[in-house]
Chains A and B, each alone.
Chain A
């Protein structure tokens, strides 16, 4: 990998003040990665939905750009678990949907402030991940996939009928009341000046800032000693156990962290859609994030985000017709085929494929 931890230990000069400031300071490659991410996030909606020629070709639109970022956060967090710790969960719909319901109910009864909604949804998702992770990690390997799947399905059935008085049952949760950001800016209103052309709405800006923070957090975790332990567990669980690491605890933590990202994304999803469909808890949602992550490339920070983009693009644009009439009804089938081919031939996904190409062209290894 090209972005191995590049001596992430500078700035440890001692002193409590320096420490407090220190954790907020960029380390190693972080500044470069964050800048690049910020630039991409800033031009993405313009290129995708407003740039003269390109956007006509792509048929993109603003709301899809926002949605891609939201699912991107979800997939990024999912990859922390699958790609780095090596655990395949089929139950992440529970955190995505759970956070969406929690944020929605919070907005109806407490406060519609977007920031507080994200906070509420995320807290719910983290607590849920703690609980479900504790139960599911009792059995390793294949059981983990089945158990997470089972518990997430349990959540789905809970909200479909016994808890229908809160969740709205089959109809989904419709009572979302989002307020203005900071009490000033309605989320669907346009940004001022040049930002309007570039970013579009306040909603996108809000999601993009959170996405940037999520990338920063993910990057920091993965390049810290803590993240190294995750990789060690994936590579060889027994050896990690023998050097004295508590594998079970690290796995649980990795599960909770990835639940945290799913919670952030799920809360943003309800802010974006102002509605929670019941299907957001169904196991096909877990399947979707699995497909996005694998398609984009497990074991990389940005691969899953690319995967989310590709998946949503096919789901929303290709399925819609115009330039793709011929394949439109088969979009799901095509995704399934591409997914299987990816696992079979390119287990490292799109991102890994491009990395290989880059290494081949530049003649450099990782």
Chain B
């Protein structure tokens, strides 16, 4: 394999890993920016997305857990990946709405620490529920057969990367663009941005902020759900994946700058590519590298790469 093919492979792998971070970080970032709510349960939404996607797309044989003990060892609809990609965002969107209504709303006036604690507790509950019902062993979530090999396009066919990774990058790009356009160029986005600046004034003008806010939370949740579906087939699926991905996702938000979609994208790409490059070169340092970058960025620019100092609460 020549050097430039290898370099492109690493880069694309990095972009794909970054795409997962971006999907999670954009959701976290808009929620943090507008609602001023720290969601430690964002990884749990990713987890829900992954399991929902798995059960819609494939049929699974459970080897442990209560469902297997009760005789539901064979689960799943087996509808394929496209229906999963379409249904899961709605499922997780609804979960997000419910969470906004029954968790975020009651904790709006409580201290930040209480918000973090309650969502952290919820994350544990969700993880343990999945462990109880589906068992703690990893479930197989293979990439779809039509996306396993390299794409049959003249140039890309030479690069040993499954088409699924291109789809992940493509889907992320489209969704993030949609969210960006929604926030920047629609009336809905205008209300949300105005509410971020001065919620009191917006409400004085007779605009109810609770509705756009709940939708923002739902969108953030749905993005995490999509991340779960597209990221699921790339890693082993078990109940701890949600809390494992939470930390890098949060760091992506922090180094990108809270509330900035462009920042989340930049942070995600930076993280993904760094990680891929380190895995290919000094693999022992791959994880440490992420945190080192985060530390350096925060020392030099505490508000994040593209963050504005005053947006931060």
Q: Which residues of A contact B (CB under 8 A)?
A: 82, 86, 88, 90, 135, 138-139, 141-143, 145-147, 149-151, 153-154, 157-158, 160-162, 164, 283-284, 287, 290-291, 294, 329-330, 332-333, 335-337, 339-340, 343-344, 347
B298–A332 CB distance below 8 A: no
Q: Name the CB-closest residue of B to A158.
A: B288
A139–B298 CB distance below 8 A: yes
Complex partner residue of A141 from B112, B114, B292, CB under 8 angstroms? B112
Residues in B neighbouring A333, C-beta threshold 8 A: 124-125, 128-129, 131-132
**For the complex, is B284 an interface residue (Cβ under 8 Å from A)?**
yes
B288–A154 CB distance below 8 A: yes
The answer to whether A344 and B113 touch (CB under 8 A), given A139-B298, A161-B284, A332-B124, is no
Residues in A neighbouring B247, C-beta threshold 8 A: 149-150, 153, 283
Residues in B neighbouring A138, C-beta threshold 8 A: 298-299, 302
The answer to whether A344 and B250 touch (CB under 8 A), given A151-B291, A329-B132, is no
Of the four ranges (under 10, 10 to 19, 20 to 34, 35 or more), the interface on chain B belongs to 35 or more
Which secondary structure dominates chain A's binding surface? helix
A287–B120 CB distance below 8 A: yes
B254–A343 CB distance below 8 A: no
The answer to whether A339 and B121 touch (CB under 8 A), given A150-B291, A151-B291, A154-B291, is yes
The answer to whether A336 and B288 touch (CB under 8 A), given A146-B250, A153-B247, is no
What distance in Å separates the Cβ of A30 from its nearest Cβ neighbour in chain B? 29
What distance in Å separates the Cβ of B31 from its nearest Cβ neighbour in chain A? 12
**For the complex, is B312 an interface residue (Cβ under 8 Å from A)?**
yes
**Residue with the greatest number of chain B CB neighbours at <10 A, chosen from A82, A146, A151:** A146
B250–A150 CB distance below 8 A: yes
Complex A-B: 21 CB contacts under 8 Å: A86-B111, A135-B299, A147-B298, A149-B250, A150-B247, A150-B251, A151-B291, A154-B291, A157-B288, A158-B288, A160-B287, A161-B284, A284-B243, A294-B117, A329-B132, A330-B132, A332-B124, A339-B124, A340-B125, A343-B118, A343-B121
What distance in Å separates the Cβ of B187 from its nearest Cβ neighbour in chain A? 29
5 smallest A-B Cβ distances: which pairs? Answer: A154-B291, A333-B128, A336-B124, A157-B287, A340-B121
What distance in Å separates the Cβ of A139 from its nearest Cβ neighbour in chain B? 6
- A111 and B106 alpha carbons, distance in the complex (Å): 54
Complex partner residue of A340 from B122, B131, B283, CB under 8 angstroms? B122
**For the complex, is B313 an interface residue (Cβ under 8 Å from A)?**
yes
Q: Which of B237-292 contact A (CB under 8 A)?
A: 243, 247, 250-251, 254, 283-285, 287-288, 291-292
Residues in B neighbouring A337, C-beta threshold 8 A: 125
Complex partner residue of B251 from A86, A146, A332, A347, CB under 8 angstroms? A146
**Residue with the greatest number of chain A CB neighbours at <10 A, chosen from B113, B131, B291, B298:** B113
